[in-house]
Structure 1
């Protein structure tokens, strides 16, 4: 399988020209279900299987799980900042470097699975209560030099969940 297909097995996120209420509802459902699908996928894996990668030089399954916890903790904070401040500038973090830290490479996945369950439960509750105008609120991502609306961010994180589940499935093949 070619490198780009392994790197982005479900393709890259493409924001629809119009984000409908139905599309948003589906993305919110993806976010709600992710920790349970992830846990069911990785629960039967051995310590050796958690060290499998989806491509040469790619992260291990263990690193992917810890990365998702890191990423999604940042995501809910970005949403909360956007809902309480006017166009906040968010703080990016060096994902690749974080994935190489000892807690991502050597620490058991149980803690990150618990983090994901808790964060996604709260995030889902927040998303469910947001009004249509709330999804128009934005944050500025300095790494990209642009602002992101929360409806687009919801879609991007839905994609992020599926993207890394696909990485884990590739690693297990």
Structure 2
């Protein structure tokens, strides 16, 4: 039985939570519902409204917006992304390489929470990596910067695609 279909084993939203879409917005409510396995009742808190590190939904969207900002800033500095070797981002490279398997497992098991967890990990890795992408101070853009920019852009694309698969918006700016 497909999730959401009549007879599907999906836990209902608790009555105490009321109209979660009206309170938290469609994307945040959807995130909270998809972040838990289908048989578990989702929990809603005001943390969904807070734009900070404690909010995983915000971190994923923020990481996507940061990847787009890095591309815009690089263009202002006069360089663009080019594929190349990046040896200072093993976690980010591993998560990007594993993404097709995560998508396949999430679809096969009808478990969108697997994709949610993967997007959070990817966002955190990108947010840690972002400070090494652009040249600092008087430093000139190098092949390493162009390769790092390509990696950051790829991570942003995966984040946007993951959010879209979950039915959510991936804003260019936050």
Same fold (TM over 0.5): no
More strand by share: 1
TM-score (ref. length: structure 1):
0.32
TM-score (ref. length: structure 2):
0.31
The structure showing larger relative contact order (alpha-carbon pairs under 8 Å, at least 6 residues apart) is: 1
